[in-house]
């Protein structure tokens, strides 16, 4: 399995622990590799996992190029499409085989739902994934499903408001002298911005800023603690604006295409 270095940390833990114990090898790759991923595909490669944008560092992957390279070798591609809420990026029109979402986020929309979805692009994959889901005994309650259906009814309105609010806050922060770099897919400085312009129909409510190295992690944490409208929290897409500091993010500092230092602050914006 190929996993981007920008993957959500629990996915990395899954690859390095549970999958390793099952004798499944997981190799990490540069999320901006695009068609170059062909060089990493081996005869026993069974899956390429994508996350676009990447967790915290917000790289936009060239998913169509990855799909083309993967399918030429008979390898399926799976995508975490949570940021796009399943609608800002059309996974299946770009050839993705499996698309998953944390419906807890934008689809739920009210911070009262814990739910996920796995969608597939063809009947054969549906049978294979469906059989596994059934054998593992995975099921959700009717109440949770009703909350997701409720959220879908207002999804378009909320995504529009989220985008407008987020762009305004991000643009303001980008001009602040305390900020060294902004990571928002809709801004030219974000890795993969041109791909975002080509493939996405909008942006959502999560972005990151990297503070100037002259500010210590303690100072950034103090700044977050003093925020009044933003609370500290991991999730997003709900009814509360959130901020989360990452004092040290090794993969951001080690990535030669984004050689940055300083504390990273991830913003999750409330629609207003």
Query: pLDDT tens across 71-91, in order?
Result: 999 999 999 999 999 999 999
Pairing of strands 206-211, 231-232: unpaired
What is the rounded distance in angstroms from the CA atom of residue 268 to the CA atom of residue 236? 6
Average pLDDT (168-187) is: 94
Rounded to two decimals, the pTM is 0.91
Give how far the C-alpha of residue 105 lies from the chain's centroid of Cα atoms, to the nearest Å: 11
- DSSP codes, 161-221: HHHHHHHHHHHHHHT-TTEEEEE-TTSTTSTTHHHHHHH-S---SEEEEEE-TTS-HHHHH
Count CA atoms closer than 13 A to 243's CA, side-chain side.
22
Going by their DSSP bridges, the two strands 2-4 and 264-268 should be labelled as: unpaired
Residue 189 DSSP SS3: coil
Question: 249 falls in which pLDDT band (50, 70, 90)?
Answer: low
pLDDT for residue 156: 96
All domains of the chain, ordered by start, with CATH?
Answer: 2-135 (3.40.640.10), 155-268 (3.90.1150.10)
């Amino acid at each position: 399995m190929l996993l981007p270095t920008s993957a959500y940390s629990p996915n990395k833990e899954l690859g390095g622990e549970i999958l390793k114990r099952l004798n499944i090898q997981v190799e990490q790759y540069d999320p901006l590799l695009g068609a170059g991923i062909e060089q990493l595909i081996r005869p026993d490669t069974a899956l390429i996992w994508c996350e676009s944008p990447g967790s915290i560092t917000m790289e936009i992957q060239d998913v169509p190029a990855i799909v083309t390279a993967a399918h030429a070798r008979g390898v399926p591609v799976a995508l975490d499409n949570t940021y796009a809420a399943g609608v800002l990026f059309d996974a299946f029109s770009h050839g993705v085989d499996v698309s998953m979402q944390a419906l807890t986020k934008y689809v739920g929309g009210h911070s009262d739902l814990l739910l996920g979805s796995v969608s597939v692009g063809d009947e054969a994959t549906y049978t294979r994934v469906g059989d596994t889901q059934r054998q593992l005994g995975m099921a959700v309650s009717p109440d949770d499903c009703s909350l997701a259906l409720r959220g879908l009814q207002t999804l378009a309105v909320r995504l529009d408001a989220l985008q407008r609010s987020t762009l305004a806050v991000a643009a303001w922060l980008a001009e602040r002298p305390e900020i060294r770099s902004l990571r928002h897919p809709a801004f030219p400085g974000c890795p993969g911005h041109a791909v975002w312009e080509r493939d996405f129909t909008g942006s959502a409510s999560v972005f990151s800023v990297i503070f100037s190295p002259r500010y210590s992690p303690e100072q950034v944490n103090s700044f977050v603690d003093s925020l009044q409208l933003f609370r500290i929290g991991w999730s997003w897409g709900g009814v509360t604006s959130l901020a989360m500091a990452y004092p040290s993010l090794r993969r951001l500092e080690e990535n030669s295409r984004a050689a940055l230092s300083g504390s990273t602050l991830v913003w999750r914006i409330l629609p207003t």
